[in-house]
Amino acid sequence: MKPGKIDTTKALLALTLALLFLSSLAQQYLGHTKSPPNVDFYVYFMTGEILHQDRHANIYEGATGENPQMRSAPATSALFDHARSAGLDDIDLYLYPPLLADLFAPLPKVPAHLAADLWRAFNIGLVLISVLLLARMLSIPVLTFEFAVLAVAAFSFFPIHESIFLGQITICLLALWTVGIVAYFDDLIVLSAAAFAVATVFKVTPVLVVPLFLIWKDRRWLVSYLGILLGLVAAMAAINGFQVLSIYPSVMSSMGGGIPAMANKSLSSLVAWMFYGKVFTMDSVLDVTANPLRSISVVSKILSGLFYSTCLFFVWRSRHVNRESKTSIIAVFAIVATCVSPVAWRHGYSVAFIALAVFWVKAMRLPTRKYRLVLLSLTASVVGCFFFDLAPLAPLPQPLRIIMASLWVVLCILFCLDTLYNVNRDHPESARAPEFPQSGTDASSSAAGVAHAHS
Instruction: Compute the average pLDDT of residues 299-325.
Output: 95
Classify residue 89: in a domain, yes or no. Answer: yes
Q: Is the pLDDT of residue 434 over 70?
A: no
Confidence band for 389, pLDDT divided at 50, 70 and 90: confident
Cβ contacts of 440 within 8 Å, gap of 6 or more: none
Note the pLDDT of residue 34: 61
Q: Which domain holds residue 201?
A: 8-450
Classify residue 329: in a domain, yes or no. Answer: yes
Classify residue 3: in a domain, yes or no. Answer: no
Q: Is the pLDDT of residue 182 over 60?
A: yes
Instruction: Compute the average pLDDT of residues 271-294.
Output: 84
Classify residue 294: in a domain, yes or no. Answer: yes
Note the pLDDT of residue 6: 60
The phi-psi region of residue 144 (left if phi > 0; otherwise alpha if psi is between -120 and 50; otherwise beta) is beta
Sign of CA dihedral 60, 66, 68, 71: negative
Number of domain units in the chain = 1
Cβ-contact 214, 222 below 8 angstroms? yes
Q: Is the pLDDT of residue 21 over 70?
A: yes
Classify residue 1: in a domain, yes or no. Answer: no
Note the pLDDT of residue 425: 65
Classify residue 2: in a domain, yes or no. Answer: no
Residues 268, 299: Cα–Cα separation, whole Å: 8
Q: What are phi and psi of 318, to 5 degrees?
A: -115, 40
3-class state of residue 38 by DSSP: coil
Considering only CA atoms, which of 361, 378, 455 is closest in space to residue 414?
Answer: 378
Q: 60-111, pLDDT tens digit by residue?
A: 988 887 778 878 898 889 899 988 988 888 899 999 999 999 988 887 678 8
Classify residue 455: in a domain, yes or no. Answer: no
Q: 289-304, pLDDT tens digit by residue?
A: 767 788 888 999 999 9
Classify residue 175: in a domain, yes or no. Answer: yes
